[in-house]
Amino acid sequence: MLSQRPAATRDWLGLKKELPPRRRLLLTILSFVIPITIWAVVSYVPFIWHPLVMITDAGDVDYFTAGEVFPYSDFLEQNKEMKAQGMHPAQGYRVNPVYLPPPHKVAMAFYLAFKTPPRLPNEPWLHESLGHSISTIFWGFFLSSILGVPIGILCGTYRFFSRLQEPFIEFFRYLPAPAFGALCVAILGIDDGPKIAIIFIGTFFQQVLVIGNTVRKVDPALIEAAQTLGAGGFKLLRRVIIPASICDIYTDMRILLGWAWTYLIVAEVVGTMSGITYFINQQARYRNFDNVYAAIAMIGVIGFFSDLFLAWLGTVLFPWKRRERSRSKKSKVPAAGKLWPAAVEPSVTDALGHDKSEIQPNVAS
Amino acid sequence: MSQAELTLPDYRDLAPEVKARFEKIRSRPVILSVRDLEKSFGPATDRHCVFSNISLDIHRREFITVIGASGCGKSTLIRIVAGLDDCTDGVILLDGHGISGPGPDRGMVFQGYTLFPWLTVKRNVMFGLEMRGRSHAACEREARQWLDIVGLSKFEDAYPHELSGGMKQRVAIARALANEPRILIMDEPFAALDAQTRCQMQAYLLQIWKKVDVTILFITHDLDEAAYLSDRILVMGANPGRIMEFIDNPVPRPRSPRQFISPEYLALKNRLEELIHPITTNDEEDKVPVMKMTEAGDEVE
């Protein structure tokens, strides 16, 4: 072997090993910075796109008016003509279309959105719209889960329930939830009822199937082990099958909650338009596209942070999944490892600088 | 091989103290009795027989190892005894009673540890006790005792993933024994461990077995392991699965690795080799037809 570079430089991209924490954080930030930078470049650098011209002085051009926008190509053509005829050319600066506001405007809209009163007295404030949306999602997802999770677990555990339920559900999940919009309105009225029903239809059937599959993946050896220890019937379900799959069910629920948000936008146009969708539509009608972007971003922020929160909550609820953390943090529990660490692992310090060889238990004694 | 030139004693010749020990064992009550057990599957026209005519008696506190070529049905046999599979014919009596389905009277230790990852070590050991409806305090007390016996008291609050393979298997043994089973069934429990850990675990198991009133039915494919641990060795053959021989182990107890070169041990080992790897007409190696990546003068032997 000629050169033995340290593994860290060889695996710079992280093919096999997790990246160091600082680079991980940097990359996370970068993943947001890159699209925002592209947006900023397109917004602020005139010659990248800017297909329109905001006229400041119409000059002698007939149909230009100060304060309005016209295509850049028309602007050039007209000015060429004006110059040729010795007349006064129009003045203006290049702008992007109104539907692509620059980042700072969206940021301002984001900041001001909660302070700006609605235009019409009976319109909701943004926070009211958001609150309405969140409560719709909550009820839709809550009702779906309260039925879907137990049914899914039963289907995953017992072939009887799986045979009894899943063929129909498999059929039903192909029916698009929005198709039930008119029906839901007819049955449940025009208020929140049909919206919650659509979110329910959109998530429930998926939930049963996904959770059924997750529960089916429980290691049969664990079930057998429990049986030889005397577990059976409902105890087996409660003490083994549910705990063995609960962590994956939780992950499924997080993904399905994302689906629920997708159905929300469809659900909210059913009956009387409400919630964040109403806000977005109104703002688009007023051509306040910065507010539209701010509202969309708001959904993203809520989704992103609620998912982060749920991920964190997961590590609290399921401590046995915290592999690295419990090993390095909990010094009370002697961290285990191989029986002969010195022979197998020449490197004795881990990322946090703990001497691994010290915390190896002496099993041989 | 030079072993053939050695004059080994007959493996059936038992030293007086070994003989006395077997007499003592045989005077104990029979714990597990298997009669004419048969397992086969497939339609009546194309029936595949895993094994048939399996009959054996195991006495209290005996240590039985089961060996056999792959496909002889040794795993199926103990899965049926554990109640995890059904037999197609025959009777299994545990303490004189028939069995139906898995139960806490037959503890099982699997090759894959099968600890519950969501429970701490202590809670894993408590599991079987809790299933029997014992109070939490009693379960905890018992679990602590068992962890003490397998030497893992320090790890009672650790989760299984924090343990090494050998430690996991010790927890699994403690978990099975905490239920005070009549018989402990072990399905190649040390096969996934490295050689050194396996040796340690074998010694551990013998120590535990000495301290606890339990009968052990132990499956392995390692002949040394079978010879080192057992009172009797059940040798099974394949196609169809059957009992070839039920050998009284001539190696005296207490066992130690030093006995690996004793005449009785070698005689036993020799016999096991004969049964498991019967010498065919020619060496198989000579029949490998291809020569590759070697040159003249490269011969290894």
Q: How far apart are CA A80 and CA B88, in angstroms?
A: 98
A327–B162: do the CB atoms touch at under 8 Å?
yes
Mean local confidence (pLDDT), B94-119:
90
Mean of pLDDT values over A192-216: 94
- Classify B76 as helix, strand or coil: helix
pLDDT value at position A330? 44
Q: Under an 8 A CB cutoff, do B162 and A336 touch? A: yes
- Which stretches of chain B are DSSP H helices? 2-5, 16-27, 74-82, 121-131, 136-149, 165-178, 195-211, 223-229, 263-276
Chain A residues with CB-CB distance to B83 below 8 A: 227-228
Touching check for A246 and chain B: CB below 8 Å?
yes
Q: Is B12 strand, coil or helix?
A: coil
Could you tell me if B233 and B216 are in contact, meaning their C-beta atoms sit under 8 angstroms apart? no
When pLDDT is averaged across residues A328-339 and rounded to a whole number, the result is 41
Q: Per-residue pLDDT tens for A123-154?
A: 778 888 889 999 999 999 999 999 999 999 99
* Interface check A338 vs B, CB under 8 A: yes
> Sorting pLDDT into bands at 50, 70 and 90, what band is A340?
very low
| Integer Cα distance of A107 and A127 in angstroms | 16
Check: CB of residue A147 under 8 Å from CB of residue A201. no
In this structure, is residue B149 part of a structural domain? yes
The pLDDT of residue A342 is 30
| Range 275-334 of A in CB contact (< 8 A) with B | 318-320, 323, 326-327, 332-334
pLDDT of B81 strictly over 80: yes
Q: Does the structure show a pLDDT above 70 at A333?
A: no
pLDDT at A124: 79
**Lowest-pLDDT choice from A18-27, A139-148, A323-332:** A323-332
> In this structure, are B133 and B174 located in the same domain?
yes
- Inter-chain touch B164–A364, beta carbons under 8 Å: no
Of A142, A139, A261, give the one whose Cα is nearest residue A194.
Answer: A139
Confidence grade of residue A364 (pLDDT, cut at 50, 70, 90): very low
Beta bridge partners of B59: B30
Residue B256's pLDDT band (boundaries 50, 70, 90)? confident
B107 in Cβ contact with B181 (< 8 Å): yes
CB B225 within 8 A of CB B202: yes
| Neighbouring residues of A53: CB distance < 8 A, sequence distance ≥ 6 | A69, A70, A71, A72, A75, A92, A93, A94, A95
In a domain, B103, yes or no: no
Residue B165 · residue B157 · CB < 8 Å: no
Question: What CA–CA distances, in Å, run from B261 to A107, A211, B265?
Answer: 82, 57, 7
A305: closest CA of chain B, how far (Å): 27
**Would you say A213 and A255 are in contact if contact means Cβ atoms under 8 Å apart?**
no
pLDDT for residue A334: 44
| Residue B300 resides in a domain | no
Is B144 part of any domain? yes
Task: Indicate whether B291 pLDDT > 80.
Answer: no
Residues B140, B241, single domain; the answer is: no
SS3 sequence, chain A?
A: CCCCCCHHHHCCCCCCCCCCHHHHHHHHHHHHHHHHHHHHHHHHCCCCCCCEEEEEECCCCCCCCCCCEEEHHHHHHHHHHHHHCCCCCCEEEEECCCCCCCHHHHHHHHHHCCCCCCCCCCCCCHHHHHHHHHHHHHHHHHHHHHHHHHHHHHHHHCHHHHHHHHHHHHHHCCCCHHHHHHHHHHHHCCCHHHHHHHHHHHHHHHHHHHHHHHHHCCCHHHHHHHHHCCCCHHHHHHHHHHHHHHHHHHHHHHHHHHHHHHHHHHHCCCCCCCHHHHHHHHHHHCCCHHHHHHHHHHHHHHHHHHHHHHHHHHHHHCHHHCHHHHHHHCCCCCCCCCCCHHHHCCCCECCCCCEHHHHCCCCCC
Tell me which chain B residues have a C-beta less than 8 angstroms from the C-beta of A232.
101
Q: Per mean pLDDT, which range of A81-95, A286-300, B250-264, B287-301 is the poorest?
A: B287-301
Residues B196, B256, single domain; the answer is yes
Q: Do residues B214 and B150 share a domain?
A: no
Pairwise CA distance, residues A352 & A324, whole Å = 11
H-helix or E-strand containing B240?
none
Indicate if the pLDDT at residue A282 is higher than 80: yes
Residue B283 confidence (pLDDT): 55
Do B205 and B69 lie in a common domain?
Answer: yes
Average pLDDT over residues A7-27: 83
Q: What is the tens place of the pLDDT at every residue in B173-192?
A: 999 999 999 999 999 999 88
**Residue B110: inside a domain:** no
The last residue of one of the domains, among B179, B205, B226, is: B179
Residue B58: its pLDDT value, please?
A: 92
Model ipTM over 0.90: no
Residues B42 and B153 in one domain: no
B246 and B174 in a common domain: no
* Mean pLDDT, rounded, for A156-177: 92
Q: How confident is the model at residue B260 (pLDDT cuts 50, 70, 90)?
A: confident
Q: Are strands A69-71 and B215-219 parallel, antiparallel or unpaired?
A: unpaired
CATH of the domain at B43: 3.40.50.300
A340 lies within 8 A of chain B by CB: yes
Tokens of B213: 């009133």
User: What's the pLDDT score for residue B5?
Assistant: 60
Residues B90 and B190 placed together within one structural domain of the fold: yes
Residue A98 scores a pLDDT above 70:
yes
Per the domain annotation, does B298 fall within a domain?
no
Same domain, B47 and B194: yes
| Last residue in a domain, options B179, B209, B235 | B179
List beta partners, residue B109: B186
Other CB atoms within a 10 A radius of the CB of residue B136 amount to 10
- Mean pLDDT, rounded, of chain A: 83
Closest CA to B176 of B212, B134, B203: B212
* Confidence (pLDDT) at A339: 35
Q: Cβ contacts (< 8 Å) between A219 and chain B: which residues?
A: 114
Give A345 to chain B, closest Cα distance, Å: 14
pLDDT more than 90, % of chain B: 35
- C-beta contacts of A64-67 below 8 A and 24+ residues apart: A64/A90
B108 contacts in chain A (CB < 8 Å)? 224-225, 228
Same domain as B72, residue B191: yes
Among A232, A335, A364, whose Cβ lies nearest the Cβ of B200?
Answer: A364
Q: What pLDDT is recorded for position A329?
A: 42
Q: Mean per-residue pLDDT for B46-53?
A: 85
Name the token pair of B44.
């009546």
Of A198-207, A243-252, A257-266, B286-295, the range with the lowest mean pLDDT is B286-295
- Residue B46: the pLDDT is 83
- Where residue B259 falls among pLDDT bands split at 50, 70, 90? confident
Cα–Cα distance measured from residue A195 to residue A133, given in angstroms and rounded to the nearest whole number: 10
Confidence check: pLDDT of A57 > 50: yes
Which residues constitute the domain of residue B14? 8-95+182-274
Is there a domain that residue B3 lies in?
A: no
Which residue of chain B comes nearest to A234, CA vs CA? B131
Residues B157, B241 within the same domain: no
pLDDT band at A343 (very low <50, low <70, confident <90, very high): very low
A273 touches chain B (CB under 8 A): no
Residues B161 and B270 occupy one common structural domain = no
Determine the Cα angle at B20 with ends B14 and B24, to 5°: 130
- Asked whether residue B15 is assigned to any structural domain, the reply reads yes
Coil/strand/helix, residue B233: strand
CA distances B281 to A45, B2, B129, B275, Å, are 86, 19, 55, 15
Indicate the residue of B118, B166, B179 with minimum beta-carbon distance to A363: B166
**A328 pLDDT above the threshold of 90:** no
Sheet holding B63-68, edge to edge: B106-109, B183-187, B215-219, B63-68, B232-237, B242-248
User: Which among B85, B99, B109, B114 is the top mutation candidate for probing chain A, defined by the most A β-carbons within 10 Å of its own β-carbon?
Assistant: B114
Provide the shortest C-alpha distance from residue A226 to chain B (in Å): 8
> What is the chain B residue with the closest CA to A219?
B114
Nearest-by-Cβ selection for A336 from B131, B163, B179: B163
Three-class secondary structure of residue B89 per DSSP: strand
- Nearest to A127, CA basis, from A136, A138, A114: A114
Which of A145-149, A301-305, B162-166, B210-214 is the most confident on average? A145-149
User: Cβ neighbours of residue A279 under 8 Å, at least 6 residues apart?
Assistant: A124, A126, A129, A130, A291, A295
**How many structural domains comprise chain B?**
2
Cβ-contact B52, B38 below 8 angstroms: yes
> What pLDDT score was predicted for residue A206?
93
User: CA B94, CA B183: separation in Å to the nearest integer?
Assistant: 9
Give the model's pLDDT for residue B4: 53
CB spacing of A318 vs B118 below 8 angstroms: yes
Cβ pairs A/B, distance under 8 A? 108
Q: Which helix (H) or strand (E) holds B35?
A: strand B30-41
Q: Whole-prediction pTM value?
A: 0.79
Per-residue pLDDT at B250? 87
**What residues of B are in the A interface, CB distance below 8 Å?**
82-84, 101-104, 106-108, 110, 112, 114, 116-119, 127-128, 130-132, 151, 154-155, 157-164, 166-167, 172, 175-176, 179, 185, 194, 196-197, 200
Cβ of B157 within 8 Å of Cβ of A333? The answer is yes
